[in-house]
Structure 1
Amino acid sequence: MTGMRDIEVVVFDVLGTLVDEPSGLRAAVREAVPGADDASVEELLTLWQQHREHELWRIGQGHRPYANSEVIDEEAAQRVAERAGFDDPVAIARLATAWQRLPPWDDSVAGLEQLARQLPVLGLSNASRTALLRLSAHAGLRWHQALSGEAAMAYKPAPEVYQLAIDAAGCPPERMLMVATHAWDLRGAQARGMRTAYVRRPVGDPPTSSDTFDGQFDGLGGLVAALTAR
């Protein structure tokens, strides 16, 4: 791990890094389909995640015009409803907003609050502006500023999304630290000149042997300690 004493701004990925996506979506599917067994819930969860990943890939490749995360989630919820065999519009609408009610990891709220006492802290997410606002409130995440890729009409790892954080911070990217549990996200940040820290979560995209991030941590505690030991 390289030194981090020159870091001026910390930028956090949100989905997966600070909130538990699978358990939150799983709970939403169970609520929408109360009679589903565990295998059916996992099948529906996979259907949702695959749709989201595929559509974000299509947008990133230029095969689909930009649509924000709320639109993608509405499509995914409709697919889940069709597969599960229900058509209640109220239930479908609630399912579509499940990404706004994801639970934080155990160390997320305290870690952010501790870090924010000493450094500017930004959130940088693929979630839409509205979804990010409501998710932050639900999970108790406190930022100095939260940025959505919707402002750039793009999804990470598109470089223009990281540029949003660089522009907001007003400091050189080499003095900014991008924190994520997704190695692909950190690689995108590195390509814009940002420093990087991987935080291990039960979900995510772990580093490969060829990745050279500035730090790797088992949770926010170690990250906060490294950044506040000044």
Structure 2
Amino acid sequence: MLGSEIDAVVFDVLGTLVDEPAGIRAGIRGSVPSLTDPAVDELVRLWLRHSESEQQRIVDGTRPYAGSDALDREAAQLVADAAGAGDPGALALSGRRLPAWPDTVPGLARLAEHFPLIGLSNASKAALLRINAHAGLRWHQALSAEDVRTYKPDPAVYELAVAVSGVPPERLLMVATHAWDLRGARKLGLRTAYVTRTVGDAPTSSDRFDLHAEDLADLARQLGIR
């Protein structure tokens, strides 16, 4: 069983443990209550597309490094402009008020009884602090890509978790709902577990992840935790 072959579990945060679109949606609706649901959904997609594309540009080296807080401010400005809203400053903070999935908090508590847990996020250190507090996430260690001034799937981010854990990559299990994230971890030698979420990036037929779980309770069962 895989549980006996790993020494720590590394978790992606945005999407995997918290519902990022739901938090942004709530922020947009609070800023412009008159918007229809389809209009709000399109603005959420605008926000997320901007964050994802700009992070990738930074990884590719076509844009100088900018932290996630700066990218959230840019996304909030785009949304405010498109919606005809006023000051986007408060809206930008909705990227820190993200609800946990129902299974997240009990799942982390259960897993923490058996493994050290490491959060590994593209969110800045300041944003990660607020996200953790708002969603009630509890870690043994929370790491931000900000420390290496790039974003996942840059190998330097996964190397943070390897360095902190003090164990070989193959003794770490990376858990995410984004197949692209798991591919990045796998390239560095980490074991991988895909968790199904409605906002995730599903694996393709060519992906070879170690585990596929419906939620964190299912993940715990597959790791031999009863």
**Structure 1 length as normaliser, TM-score?**
0.95
Q: Which residue of 1 aligns with 2:5?
A: 6
Q: Which residue of 1 aligns with 2:155?
A: 159
User: What is the identity, as a one-letter code, of the residue corresponding to 2:155?
Assistant: P
Give the CA deviation at 1:13.
0.3
Q: Which residue of 1 aligns with 2:52?
A: 53
Q: Secondary structure at the match of 1:146?
A: strand
- Percent identity between the two aligned chains: 57
Q: Secondary structure at the match of 1:75?
A: helix
Give the CA deviation at 1:129.
0.3
Q: Secondary structure at the match of 1:5?
A: helix
Q: Higher mean Cα deviation, 68-77 or 53-62?
A: 53-62
Q: Which residue of 2 aligns with 1:17?
A: 16
Q: Secondary structure at the match of 1:18?
A: coil
**CA–CA distance in 1 between the matches of 2:2 and 2:134?**
34
Contact 1:7 1:227 in 2 (8 A): no
Q: Which residue of 2 aligns with 1:138?
A: 134
Give the CA deviation at 1:228.
4.2
**CA–CA distance in 2 between the matches of 1:184 and 1:107?**
23
Greater than 6 Å deviation, 4+ residue runs? none
Within 5 Å, give how 1:119-130 maps onto structure 2. Answer: 119-130=115-126
For structure 2, list consecutive stretches of 5 or more residues without a partner in the other structure: none
Q: Which residue of 2 aligns with 1:84?
A: 83
Q: Which residue of 1 aligns with 2:104?
A: 108
User: What is the identity, as a one-letter code, of the residue corresponding to 1:127?
Assistant: A
**CA–CA distance in 1 between the matches of 2:208 and 2:159?**
21
**CA–CA distance in 2 between the matches of 1:114 and 1:42?**
34
**CA–CA distance in 2 between the matches of 1:205 and 1:111?**
21
Matched, 1:118 2:117: no
**CA–CA distance in 2 between the matches of 1:115 and 1:144?**
11
Within 5 Å, give how 1:176-195 maps onto structure 2. Answer: 176-195=172-191
**CA–CA distance in 2 between the matches of 1:209 and 1:54?**
24
**How many residues of Structure 1 are paired with residues of Structure 2 in the alignment?**
226
Instruction: Choose which of 210, 221, 224 in structure 2 pairs with 1:225.
Output: 221
